[in-house]
């Protein structure tokens, strides 16, 4: 029986590992489609940012209650998975509670700590379900935010229900295990009653030994297979941020938020016109494209941002354009970018790793001109994001394409651009006439 369990477990572990690695490979390839961008400077500052923002959850605590609740789930996820190591080794070796004889009395302390976290995660997940579906927090409602319709709502609730089931399985497994210890059942080490699962022992008091063993094994398998399934599902879910938050914050933009980068090709042309630089003989005859039309025109960091988005809606809830009824939602910008990446990834997977033009693009098919025009570039979305994502950077690159390639701008914008080109100011007055207004001031 133990040999069969070991074989089945190794097959499950290998299958999950294969599917997860394949999915990670697709995500990696799609991120690498983006333009190169150097984010290797100031490694010590980057590391400090990652520790503060990703590990320390600093921005989450701007809203203390939600921050504490999120931290419980976050800490629980990280630390409870230490116990998974024992379960995996037990599955491979055919043992039961492998670390119990090694750690002695400390083993009970460790499991009690894990149970404390499990109860915390379970309670917080129930609270989050209530906030989403009963209290109906505005920024999480698809009736107000169209980007949340369909899978995003199902995804959020699925993960919360899955966490509740996994934590319940863990606690009842320990309770059944404890009863089997009291019965002196073979293979069940005497490690004592645990802090929280001990309260559940009366539920199993009248069960036969065979029923207890069957329940303990079923919940053991449910817990570990649930974790394998969770690890795979996360790669398709907004919860991918659990892993990507760390590299994403490490590669944060360290420059001031108000600094909008120039386009290098345009800057070079202006410098040549002003005699500040010489033409590059090796440069292409013309610029391939101004701004970004599709995901391949964005940088790899923009694409990592899209995969890292938590869909929390803090960006949208603070966006002045969205608050005044405009179509723009920074969260939708990130979700649309990720959706387009998923389409591109599926295209590449179906064509041997190469992208075959499908006649669609991020601009136009996913993100509209009206959304881009609504942005005020105030950086509120960048400021609010708990893992330093920049929807604004994507918006600016798409808007540059919209205006410079498609010539799609309101007349008032075109008049301003013309004045900037001719008068070096937004106004239509020449430099010599700019201060004529003072003559009438007494």
* Mean pLDDT within 180-189: 84
For residue 221, give its domain range. Answer: 2-32+63-250
Q: What is the pLDDT of residue 383?
A: 94
Measured in degrees and rounded to the nearest 5, phi and psi for residue 311 equal 60, 25
Residue 183 has, within 13 A of its CA and on its CB side, a CA count of: 21
Domain final position from 228, 250, 272: 250
CA distance 16 to 9: 10
For 267-299, how does the pLDDT look when each residue is reduced to its tens digit (9 = 90+)? 877 777 777 877 776 666 566 778 899 999 999
Q: Has residue 135 been placed in a domain?
A: yes
Considering the domain architecture, whether residues 228 and 320 belong to the same structural domain is answered as no
Q: What is the pLDDT of residue 313?
A: 93
353 in Cβ contact with 33 (< 8 Å): no
CA distance 233 to 23: 10
Question: Which range is least confidently modeled, 96-100, 115-119, 136-140?
Answer: 96-100
- 402 confidence band (pLDDT: 50, 70, 90): very high
Asked if residue 96 has pLDDT above 90, the reply is no
Among candidate residues 101, 117, 89, 85, the one with its CA nearest the CA of residue 188: 101
* Mean pLDDT within 71-100: 85
Q: What is the pLDDT of residue 286?
A: 62
Q: Has residue 41 been placed in a domain?
A: no
CA distance 302 to 91: 40
* Mean pLDDT within 253-277: 81
Considering the domain architecture, whether residues 237 and 272 belong to the same structural domain is answered as no
- 265 confidence band (pLDDT: 50, 70, 90): confident
Torsion sign across C-alpha atoms 162, 168, 169, 171: positive
CA distance 147 to 336: 8
Asked if residue 1 has pLDDT above 60, the reply is no
CA distance 166 to 234: 15
Q: What is the pLDDT of residue 281?
A: 67
Considering the domain architecture, whether residues 78 and 176 belong to the same structural domain is answered as yes
CA distance 108 to 191: 6
Asked if residue 7 has pLDDT above 80, the reply is yes
DSSP assignment of 268-328, as one string?
A: HHHHHHTTSS---TTS-SS-S-SS-SSGGGSBHHHHHHHHH-----HHHHH-HHHHTT-S-
Q: Has residue 434 been placed in a domain?
A: no
Asked if residue 193 has pLDDT above 60, the reply is yes
Q: What is the pLDDT of residue 221?
A: 92
Considering the domain architecture, whether residues 327 and 184 belong to the same structural domain is answered as no
Considering the domain architecture, whether residues 147 and 169 belong to the same structural domain is answered as yes
Report the domain count for the chain.
2
Considering the domain architecture, whether residues 364 and 324 belong to the same structural domain is answered as yes
- 83 confidence band (pLDDT: 50, 70, 90): confident
Asked if residue 159 has pLDDT above 70, the reply is yes
Instruction: Supply the pTM of this predicted model.
Output: 0.88
Considering the domain architecture, whether residues 70 and 210 belong to the same structural domain is answered as yes
What are the Cα distances from residue 302, in Å, to 36, 51, 90, 121, 152? 11, 21, 41, 32, 21
Beta carbons within 8 Å of 38's beta carbon, 6+ residues apart:
none
Q: Has residue 43 been placed in a domain?
A: no
Considering the domain architecture, whether residues 303 and 403 belong to the same structural domain is answered as yes
* Mean pLDDT within 175-181: 91
Q: Has residue 422 been placed in a domain?
A: yes
Three-class DSSP category at 35: strand
- 188 confidence band (pLDDT: 50, 70, 90): confident
Asked if residue 414 has pLDDT above 80, the reply is yes
* Mean pLDDT within 204-228: 92
Considering the domain architecture, whether residues 152 and 230 belong to the same structural domain is answered as yes
Considering the domain architecture, whether residues 318 and 392 belong to the same structural domain is answered as yes
Helix (H) or strand (E) holding 60, with range, is: none
Among candidate residues 179, 182, 173, the one with its CA nearest the CA of residue 201: 179
Domain final position from 250, 281, 314: 250
Q: Has residue 54 been placed in a domain?
A: no
CA distance 20 to 232: 5
Return the CATH number at 318. 1.10.1060
What average pLDDT does the chain have?
89
Percent of the chain with pLDDT over 90: 59
Burial-class residue 417 by CB neighbours within 10 Å (0-12, 13-18, 19+).
middle
Beta carbons within 8 Å of 222's beta carbon, 6+ residues apart:
165, 166, 169
- Alpha carbon 149 to chain centroid, angstroms: 18
Helix (H) or strand (E) holding 430, with range, is: none
Q: What is the pLDDT of residue 272?
A: 77
């Amino acid at each position: 029986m133990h040999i069969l369990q070991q074989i089945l477990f190794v097959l499950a572990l290998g299958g999950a590992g294969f599917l997860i690695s394949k999915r990670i490979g697709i995500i990696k390839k799609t991120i690498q489609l983006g333009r190169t961008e150097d984010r290797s400077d100031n490694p010590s500052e980057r590391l400090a940012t990652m520790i503060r923002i990703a590990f320390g959850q600093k921005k989450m605590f701007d809203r203390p209650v939600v921050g504490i609740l999120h931290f419980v789930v976050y800490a629980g996820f990280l630390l409870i998975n230490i116990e998974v190591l024992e379960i995996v080794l037990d599955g491979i070796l055919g043992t039961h509670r492998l670390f119990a004889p090694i750690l002695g009395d400390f083993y009970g302390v460790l499991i009690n700590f894990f149970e404390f976290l499990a109860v915390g995660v379970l309670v917080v997940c129930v609270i989050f379900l209530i906030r989403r579906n009963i209290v109906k927090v505005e920024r999480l409602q698809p009736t107000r935010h169209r980007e949340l319709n369909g899978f995003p709502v199902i995804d959020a609730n699925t993960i919360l229900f899955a966490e509740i089931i996994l934590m319940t399985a863990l606690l009842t497994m320990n309770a059944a295990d404890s009863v089997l210890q009291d019965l002196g059942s073979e293979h069940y080490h005497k490690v004592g009653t645990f802090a929280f699962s001990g309260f559940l022992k009366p539920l199993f008091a009248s069960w036969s030994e065979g029923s207890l063993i069957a329940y303990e094994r079923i919940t053991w398998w449910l817990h570990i297979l649930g974790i394998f399934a969770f690890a795979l599902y996360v790669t398709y879910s907004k919860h991918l941020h659990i892993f990507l938050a760390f590299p994403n914050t490490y590669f944060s933009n360290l420059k001031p938020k108000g600094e909008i980068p120039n386009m290098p090709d345009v800057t070079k042309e202006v410098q040549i016109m002003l005699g500040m630089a010489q033409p590059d003989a090796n440069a292409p005859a013309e610029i391939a494209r101004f701004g970004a039309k599709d995901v391949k025109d964005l940088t790899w960091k923009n694409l990592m941002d899209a995969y890292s988005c938590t869909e929390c809606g803090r960006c949208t809830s603070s966006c002045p354009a969205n608050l005044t009824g405009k179509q723009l939602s920074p969260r939708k910008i990130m979700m649309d970018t990720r959706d387009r990446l998923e389409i591109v990834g599926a295209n590449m997977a179906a064509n041997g790793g190469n992208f075959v033009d499908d006649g669609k693009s991020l601009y136009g098919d996913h993100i509209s001109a009206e959304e881009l025009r609504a942005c005020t570039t105030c950086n509120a979305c960048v400021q609010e994001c708990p893992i330093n994502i920049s929807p604004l950077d994507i918006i600016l690159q798409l808007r540059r394409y919209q205006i410079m390639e498609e010539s799609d701008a309101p007349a008032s914008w075109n008049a301003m651009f013309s004045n900037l080109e001719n008068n070096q100011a937004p106004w239509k007055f020449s430099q010599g006439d700019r201060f004529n207004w003072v003559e009438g001031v007494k």
